[in-house]
């Protein structure tokens, strides 16, 4: 299965995201969505699992969980924005979700793939919305096959 992973859109859905996600089977959004319309548009591409982030308002908070867990190709995925950890890092996520094979988070806007010795992975796709903190916007693609550790890659977005 091919997954599109996105976070920190902050109300802006770049056209490049739709191109990168054109062939995905599912989309995971790790919060700070900004507007419900972002999820609606992503949902036209593939089914979306999303969580709310620290700047998402009441409408999104009433519709989305803080943490989502799902099983894909036999792997346990956890999706969270990560703000509950302050400045989230892979070790904090691993401690909080030791059962997870893939921990998806956002909040820092910094893309990161951290592979653990047990073959689990912590993934921050970076921020796909407005450029901030001198960081380039990005998303991630994760590919899964039963019995093979998930493979993740960061995809920079260019205008």
pLDDT on residue 132:
79
Give the pLDDT of the chain (159 residues) as one tens digit per residue: 999 999 999 999 999 999 999 999 999 999 999 999 999 999 999 999 999 999 999 999 999 999 999 999 999 999 999 999 888 899 999 999 999 999 999 999 999 999 999 989 999 999 999 887 788 999 999 999 988 999 999 999 985
Go through 99-119 and write b for each residue having 16 or more CB atoms within 10 A of its CB, e for each that does not. ebbbbbbbbbbebbbbeeeee
Q: How far apart are CA 91 and CA 85, in angstroms?
A: 11
Taking CA atoms, 9 is separated from 93, 131, 148, in Å, by 21, 10, 30
Is the overall model pTM greater than 0.75, yes or no?
yes
What is the distance between the alpha carbons of residues 152 and 114, in angstroms, rounded to a whole number? 10
- CATH classification of the domain holding 87: 3.60.21.10
**Residue 142 carries which DSSP code?**
E
> Which pLDDT score, from 0 to 100, does residue 134 have?
82
What is the edge-to-edge ordering of all strands in the sheet holding 67-72? 67-72, 75-80, 102-104, 121-124, 112-115
Closest CA to 32 of 70, 75, 88: 88
pLDDT of residue 96: 96
Please give the residue range of the domain that contains residue 129.
2-156
Which tokens belong to 57? 């308002």
Looking at the structure of the chain, the number of domains it has is 1
| pLDDT at residue 88, as a whole number | 86
pLDDT at 32: 97
């Amino acid at each position: 299965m091919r997954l599109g992973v996105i976070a920190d859109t902050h109300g802006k859905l770049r056209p490049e995201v739709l191109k990168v996600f054109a062939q995905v089977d599912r989309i995971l959004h790790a919060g700070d969505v900004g507007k419900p319309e972002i999820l609606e548009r992503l949902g036209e591409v593939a089914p979306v699992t999303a969580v709310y982030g620290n700047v998402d308002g009441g409408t999104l908070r009433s519709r989305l969980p803080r943490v989502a867990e799902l099983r894909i190709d036999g792997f346990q995925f956890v999706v969270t924005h990560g703000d509950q950890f302050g400045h989230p890092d892979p070790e904090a996520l691993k401690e909080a979700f030791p059962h997870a094979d893939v921990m998806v988070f956002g909040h820092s806007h910094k893309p990161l793939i951290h592979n653990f010795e047990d073959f689990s992975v912590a993934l921050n796709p970076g921020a796909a919305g407005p450029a901030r903190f001198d960081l380039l916007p990005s998303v991630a693609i994760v590919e899964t096959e039963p019995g093979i550790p998930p493979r993740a890659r960061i995809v920079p977005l260019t205008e």
